[in-house]
Structure 1
Amino acid sequence: MVFYALGSKFIQEKKDRENTPPKAQEVIYYSLAIGHHLGVIDCLKPQITCKVAEYDAWIAQLPIDGEARRKLEGVKRFGEINIDGTHTHLLAVALHHSLPQMTEQQQQWSRELIALLQRMENEPAIYLLVRRHDDW
């Protein structure tokens, strides 16, 4: 499993963002958000990588009937999932509360994911794509 995060933007400099009209920024952010559906994956950078079995054991630490676990299990069914701003609080809270029963490695992944989710809260253009790689 690989968690990819938006790693580059078309507008990176603060001065560029300040000079870009808000409507144009919205179009750019929307284009970035749907880019992976159009085959534009080069904007995404791997952030967290683990084997499928390790991923399964990790998300098994989340509440069995919780929305966070259901969301993260989606990658097993669909091959990939998108995590956006609507998921940040839900996932961060579930991961944080599950830390005590996790292994050290699972805690590290959880903390890394929580940090990414916090970045998403601060920058709405960031999103995560989680993709299953069966050959791992």
Structure 2
Amino acid sequence: MTIINWSKKIFWFIIEPFFPFGRNLVKKLGYNPYPPRQVFALGFLNKNNNQAELEKHLYSQNFIINKVAWVDEGEIMSLRLLDGFEHQYHLRLFKDGEIRGHYELTPEYSPLGHLHDKETTAKTEEFKKILGNFLIS
């Protein structure tokens, strides 16, 4: 990792606890760069499973809580799997059981690239492998 990326990592470590406050403040002030739910729908949580079981499965796949993320309407879970420092797999679960996910730049590596969805892609097949029987189409 370069010295610049180490500096970014340290910076985000320091501001991460304050991020939810700032995010919620700008939302209340009317800034909302995304639709109510971002694109990249994958399907729904299998009725034979619940949120806790899905979270346990994803934690076993090295997913972690995504603290530095926008909160979509109806979202009840946001987890990410880091792919190095620059990219992440980001999964969301919603109240109605819908699961959405995308592959994107991490906000730590490129805050503006992340905010403007630069390099954001579906990676649907990878998500289907990760989710296995937890996902139904």
Pick the TM interval, shorter chain: under 0.3
Q: TM-score, normalization: structure 2?
A: 0.27
Who wins on radius of gyration, i.e. which is larger? 1
Q: TM-score, length-normalised on structure 1?
A: 0.27
**Structure with the bigger percentage of strand:** 2
